[in-house]
Structure 1
Amino acid sequence: MQAGRALRRRWWTALEEWDVSPHQARALRTVCVQGEARLSEIAAKLRIAPRSATEVVDSLEQRGLVERRPDPADRRAVLVVATDAGRETYAVTDHARHAAAAEFFGRLSDPEREQLATLLHRLLD
C-alpha cells in the first residue's frame, strides 16, 4: 500500500503543472478512452458518488476540457465528450503519469520488474 501511495503522490505532483486533480485526470481519461461517457460511467470508473462525478465534470467543463451533449439513444441522459483542449490535456497528463511510473519502477532491474509484475498478477488472479 505504501508503494501505491508513493506512486500516486508522484502522479499528483506531476499533475500540478497542468492544474488538474487526480479525479479530473481520471475522468478526462475515461472520456477520452471511451470517446464519450455518461456521468454514471464516470462515477463508476472513479468509484465516487454520481453527485461527486457531476462536480468533477463541472470543473472540467468550466475549463473547456469537456462538454455535455444530449445522448441520442436516451433523451434523458447526457454524454460527456472531450474537447480538443481536453484531448491535449489528457495526452500530456497521461504521458506524465507514465513518466512518473517509469521513474518509480526504474529503480528495479528488468528481471525485478518482471518478477514484480508476475507476483502482482498472481495475487490479482
Structure 2
Amino acid sequence: MTSPDSDGLLAEQLLRLTRRVHRIQKRHLEQRGLGVTPAQSRLLRTLAHYGSPPRMADLAARLEVVPRAVTTLVDALETAGKVRRVPDPANRRVIRIELTDDGRATLRELHAARRSAAEEILAPLTDGQRALLGGLLDTLVDGPAAERCGDAPA
C-alpha cells in the first residue's frame, strides 16, 4: 500500500513530466517553423478527428474552453490559411470549420513534431520499460477515475 507522501511524490513527478513534455513539444514546433501555437495545434488535431466539419460550439465543448477562445483560434488559423469557415448545407445560419489543404499539411508536420518530441522524452527507456509505461498509462487514462471525471473513451 502506498503512503500519502508517495502519492504526492508521484503526482509531482507526473506534473513535472507534463511540463517537460509541453516544453519539448513547443521547441520541436518552433524548430519546424510552422507558426502555430500549442493551442492552435490542439485545435487542428481536434478538428481532424471529426468526420464532418464541426460547429465552433462543438470545438469549444471538445476542447473544454469557452466559445470565444475557439473564435480567436479559428480567426488566427483562418488568416494563416489552415482552416476555413463554411456554411452548413442544412442550415445556412450555422457555420462549420474545416481544414484546408495547408491545414492538413501542417497537421502532418505537427504529428512529426510530436513523434520527435516523444522519441526525445522516451530515449532513456528500454523497449520493456516503454511497454510497461504504456500499460501503466493506459490504466490511469482508462481507469475508474477517468470514468468519474468523464475522461474515459466512449
How far did 1:45 drift?
2.8
Verify: 1:123 aligned to 2:140, yes or no: yes
Aligned to 2:29: 15
Contact 1:30/1:37 (CA < 8 Å) preserved in 2? no
Distance 1:38 1:78 in 2: 6
Identity %: 38
Query: Higher strand proportion, which one?
Result: 1
Higher relative contact order (CA 8 A, sep 6+): 1
Aligned to 2:148: none
How far did 1:79 drift?
0.8
How far did 1:20 drift?
0.6
How far did 1:52 drift?
0.5
Verify: 1:28 aligned to 2:28, yes or no: no
Verify: 1:51 aligned to 2:51, yes or no: no
1:18-45 per-position Cα deviation (integer Å, ceiling 9, x unaligned) = 1110111111112223252211222123
The residue type paired with residue 11 of structure 1 is: Q
Unaligned runs of 5+ in 2: 1-14, 144-154
1:63 is aligned, of 61, 65, 80, to: 80
